[in-house]
Structure 1
Amino acid sequence: MTSEDEVALFWLPIMLSYIAGDTVLPPQLGLASVEYDAITSRARVLRQTLDKKHLSERRQLRQQLLLMRQKEYRELKALLIEHANPESGFAEQAASVIACGCLGNRHLWKDLGLPERPRLSRMFAWYFPQLFNANDRNMRWKRFLYKQLCDHGGDYVCRAPSCNECSTYQECFGSEER
């Protein structure tokens, strides 16, 4: 996949949703300036509009949330980067944005502004193929990531020793209707 394909398939929908205010992403999509420039330079037409949208009060609140939950953000990002596809052009940016999206309270694909969950799964398949393959039971992505952190000694929600025994099984594996 070329970087133009990556931008068209994953980043353009995220940027358009960001412009519309339909994401939980903080200023600059939660990216450092260099990472942000690498992505948005591919979408020159949107760049000016994107840059103006960072100034909203809502985005500043998202930035404050990110600052308050830095440890969680860093752990999520590190997990993703550890499993990054070295051939992808924007895996680090994807790790940052997905980690920011996990701090929202809706389904991850919605908080990122993607049009549907399968697009998020394709994003994982491209940027983080090991994690994609490990999610062989199609657990919701945000829950899957937190379960990975929990399984590696984190202090995140792991309610049962086995998913089959868990009383909230449907919350993780049920359908995700809009």
Structure 2
Amino acid sequence: MMGDVFTQYWYPIITAFHQGKSALPAHLGISADDYYQITELVGLVPIATHDLPQYAALQLRHELIGMRDDELSELTELLTEHLDHHQPYAQQMATVLANASMGSQHLWRDLGMPERPRLSQLFHDYFPTLHALNHHNMRWKRFLYKQLCESGGDYVCRSPSCETCTSYEECFGEER
């Protein structure tokens, strides 16, 4: 099982990060020690942030996320509440996922996953109660912000009922 979550989730996340194909900040948003340890566990060679070709973009991403620190904290807290702490590096995954949520694309792309079904499986394995709440298969980033809105956060809830919302297809339609 341990090798499975590393192969299914951590490997593609770190690979995409190394290739500049994610919206993650330096060290995936986790401590440098955790980043190096997880990277070695999945069989990749850790790359120092300053040696990555997207170093300037990482610095900018870090600054932009820093301006949304409260939002990042709320997302991390939401994910942590639903975390399966038996999964390896569970808290780190919550932090990585919260950081990826700061990106501007679909969450699976911002995280560096190869496709949305893999992200859904990650939610199933790492955040099972949150996964169960998304019974209409809403897009994950929208779903997370909807959860923050419903918990009384300062996020705009656009419709009292998704089924009556004029933007229904944006949340539940196919992702391209």
TM range (shorter): over 0.9
Cα deviation, residue 37, structure 1: 3.4
The one-character-per-residue Cα deviations of 1:14-53 (angstroms, maximum 9, x if unpaired) are 1111111111111001112343234223035321477732
Map of 1:27-176 to 2, 5 A cutoff? 27-48=26-47, 52-53=51-52, 56-176=55-175
- Give 1:25's aligned residue: 24
Task: Give the 3-state SS of the residue equivalent to 1:89 in structure 2.
Answer: coil
Cα deviation, residue 162, structure 1: 0.8
Q: One-letter code of the match for 1:137?
A: H
- Alignment check: 8 A CA contact 2:83 2:128 kept: yes
Cα deviation, residue 150, structure 1: 0.2
Give me the TM-score of the superposition, normalised by structure 1.
0.93
CA distance in 2, matches of 1:117, 1:45: 23
Cα deviation, residue 74, structure 1: 0.4
Give me the TM-score of the superposition, normalised by structure 2.
0.94
Structure 1 vs Structure 2: percent identity of aligned residues? 46
The one-character-per-residue Cα deviations of 1:58-109 (angstroms, maximum 9, x if unpaired) are 0001110111110000000000001000211122111111111111111000
The one-character-per-residue Cα deviations of 1:101-129 (angstroms, maximum 9, x if unpaired) are 11111100001111000000011000000
Question: Cα gap change, 1:52/1:141 in structure 2, threshold over 3 Å: closer, same or farther?
Answer: same
Q: What root-mean-square deviation, in Å, do the aligned CA atoms of Structure 1 and Structure 2 show?
A: 1.7
CA distance in 2, matches of 1:55, 1:21: 6
Question: Cα gap change, 1:85/1:167 in structure 2, threshold over 3 Å: closer, same or farther?
Answer: same
Deviates more, 1:88-97 or 1:47-56: 47-56
Deviates more, 1:110-119 or 1:38-47: 38-47
Alignment coverage as a number of residue pairs: 176
